[in-house]
Amino acid sequence: MGPGQQAAPRRGAVRHRGRRRPVDVLAQDREAVLLRQPHRRRPAGAGGGQPGRRRLPGWRNASKEGPRATVVAVDPATGKEQWRVETQQAAGVAALAVQGRHLYGVTTKGGLFVIDRRTRKVVHSADISSVSKGFAAMVTNRGAVYGVSDTTLYRFHPKTFAVSTVVAGINGAWYSGPHLNVHEGLIYTLRGGNLVAVDDRPAH
């Protein structure tokens, strides 16, 4: 290795990129815009009964009971609904991602659901609250779906949908919920207050 060269990171290795804010890029499915009915974060100033703050309407479902995490596909050209799936989750959607024929969703209570976009049926559900609870973000990279929560960077197996921890204790210092992005095979997110690049090469 010559002067100034960097060694290639090992599998799952983390490269520090300094204290920079990564760009949050949203991906749109080519066939349909996938919408969700989330359990939304309280807007700034909404408060939770704290002195000097007021509660604003609309930051959570109006009804205390009923379906959560309803997924709706909308034609991006016409704006018309194509289909919807009631996922029967106990909380709203924190993040969505598409890999092949499957749409992955994670809820704010740590529920995972996977929808087959051809049959429009939920084909898998699981409790992943050990790695993801609260707000989350997901992307697709190297044939797998990755997610990040306030505490953990994790990955789903593309066939079994089993969840694996990629980086534990990532504890990103986000002020608007966790985010992650992908560039040239590397996954970018925060660990603490530092922007990091994670090189994970799943064997599936």
Q: Give 87-114 pLDDT, tens digit per residue.
A: 999 899 999 999 999 999 999 999 999 9
How open is the CA angle 108-156-135, to the nearest 5 degrees? 20
140: CB partners within 8 A, 6+ apart? 97, 98, 99, 146, 182
**Does the pTM of the predicted model rise above 0.85?**
no
> How many structural domains compose the chain?
1
Indicate whether 183 belongs to any domain.
yes
Indicate whether 9 belongs to any domain.
no
Indicate whether 153 belongs to any domain.
yes
Q: How far is CA 21 from CA 14, 44, 57, 181, in A?
A: 16, 20, 30, 11
Indicate whether 82 belongs to any domain.
yes
- Burial status of residue 26 (CB atoms within 10 A of its CB: 0-12, 13-18, 19 or more): exposed
pLDDT interval class at 175 (50, 70, 90): confident
- pLDDT the model gives residue 68: 79
Indicate whether 90 belongs to any domain.
yes
For residue 111, the domain's CATH number is 2.120.10.80
- pLDDT the model gives residue 41: 44
Indicate whether 155 belongs to any domain.
yes
Tokens of 164: 């694996």
Residue-averaged pLDDT of the chain: 78
Domain interval for residue 175: 30-39+66-199
Indicate whether 147 belongs to any domain.
yes
Indicate whether 49 belongs to any domain.
no
C-beta separation of 84 from 73 below 8 A = yes
